[in-house]
């Protein structure tokens, strides 16, 4: 079976801090394609050291992923790997990709690759951050990004498999960077999606949904196993959800739902959510303890909290 060829495609905008390390890890590919979206720093100059296949496309921050299709069309290889400038391809993943190119199956058109997210100087090994599978490697002409808002997934024709080795993602390096992306890009689009699913504003969502997201990330997805980093990211996830709800409220014209019982209603909602936090905390403690007596105690207490949440 003849070895098939690979192009690694990047879409970039002002990535002078990341582009060199990313392209250095991509040197094993048969072809490197860089699409620049109007960078005003030294991104393009640094990219020229690795490839002559550099194209220019107008930047559209609302359709970041959809614009990547343009770079895919420029590839002349059998396979394409979509790579972001803040991602690296470690040696073990390179070997797995090269092995696939030599032994590829005609029935598989794409591969999901796990991604190691480095956030605030630490590899986050739990919650939504790991294994964080990304569909990135695909047979040319068999996958594309849909024309939707930011951070969509590739749509692929045919069967897929998963790789064992992972991408290295130099993700958020500061709280300011996290908050800036959260406010300027992600929540604006998420608010529109939220409005489509929830056309009638409910003030309870301002309390209920951030709490649910915190519990999901910190307890259910075991973010607590990442320690302080896990706690911080779970709080930021709750803030992210809060911003989505508030921006949806704003886009609906700030409807006023206040009544004479508003304070009492707030108290009722807070108690429900307090009970939910306690329920998930007790569930986590139940998973950790080895004592049969403590397990019984935690189950009883959890049952009580569960009753409170449904009242």
pLDDT beyond 60 at 311: no
Mean pLDDT, rounded, for 151-169: 93
Q: How far is CA 143 from CA 31, 149, 158, 187, in A?
A: 18, 17, 9, 26
Token pair of 84, please? Answer: 């972001």
- How confident is the model at residue 3, as a pLDDT? 86
pLDDT beyond 90 at 186: no
pLDDT digits (tens, 9 = 90+) for 30-82: 999 999 999 999 999 999 999 999 999 988 766 788 889 999 999 999 999 99
pLDDT-derived band at 2, boundaries 50, 70, 90: confident
- How confident is the model at residue 135, as a pLDDT? 97
The label of the residue with tokens 């320690």 reads 227
pLDDT digits (tens, 9 = 90+) for 171-183: 999 999 999 989 8
67-71, 114-118, 255-259: the lowest-pLDDT one = 255-259
Q: Are 292 and 253 in contact (CB under 8 A)?
A: no
One-letter-per-residue 3-state SS of 111-158: EEECEEEEECCEECCCHHHCCCCEEEEEECCCEECCCCCCCCCCEECC
What's the pTM?
0.87
Q: Are 50 and 23 in contact (CB under 8 A)?
A: yes
């Amino acid at each position: 079976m003849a070895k098939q060829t690979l192009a690694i495609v990047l879409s970039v905008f002002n990535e002078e801090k990341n582009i060199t390390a990313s392209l250095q890890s991509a040197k094993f590919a048969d072809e490197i394609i860089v699409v620049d979206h109007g960078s005003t720093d030294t991104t393009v100059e640094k990219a020229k050291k690795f490839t002559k296949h550099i194209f220019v496309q107008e930047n559209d921050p609302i359709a970041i992923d959809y614009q990547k299709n343009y770079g895919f069309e420029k590839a002349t290889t059998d396979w394409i790997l979509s790579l972001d400038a803040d991602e690296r391809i470690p040696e073990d993943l390179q070997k797995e990709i090269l092995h696939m190119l030599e032994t590829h199956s005609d029935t598989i058109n794409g591969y999901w690759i796990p991604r190691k997210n480095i956030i605030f100087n630490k590899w986050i090994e739990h919650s939504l951050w790991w294994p964080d599978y990304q569909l990135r490697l695909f047979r040319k002409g068999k996958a594309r990004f849909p024309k939707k808002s930011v951070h969509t997934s590739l749509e692929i024709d045919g069967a897929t498999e998963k790789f064992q080795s992972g991408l290295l993602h130099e993700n958020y390096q500061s709280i300011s960077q996290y908050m800036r992306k959260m406010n300027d890009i992600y929540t604006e689009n998420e608010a529109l999606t939220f409005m489509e699913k929830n056309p009638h504003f409910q003030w309870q969502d301002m309390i209920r949904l951030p709490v649910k997201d915190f519990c999901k990330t910190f307890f259910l997805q075991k973010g607590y196993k990442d320690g302080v980093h896990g706690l911080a990211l779970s709080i930021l996830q709750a803030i992210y959800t809060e911003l989505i709800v508030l921006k949806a409220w704003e886009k609906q014209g700030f409807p006023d739902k206040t009544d004479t019982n508003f304070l009492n209603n707030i108290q009722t909602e807070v108690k429900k959510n307090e009970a939910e936090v306690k329920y998930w905390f007790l569930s986590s403690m139940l998973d950790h303890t080895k004592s049969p007596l403590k397990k019984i105690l935690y189950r009883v207490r959890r049952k009580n909290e569960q009753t409170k949440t449904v009242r």
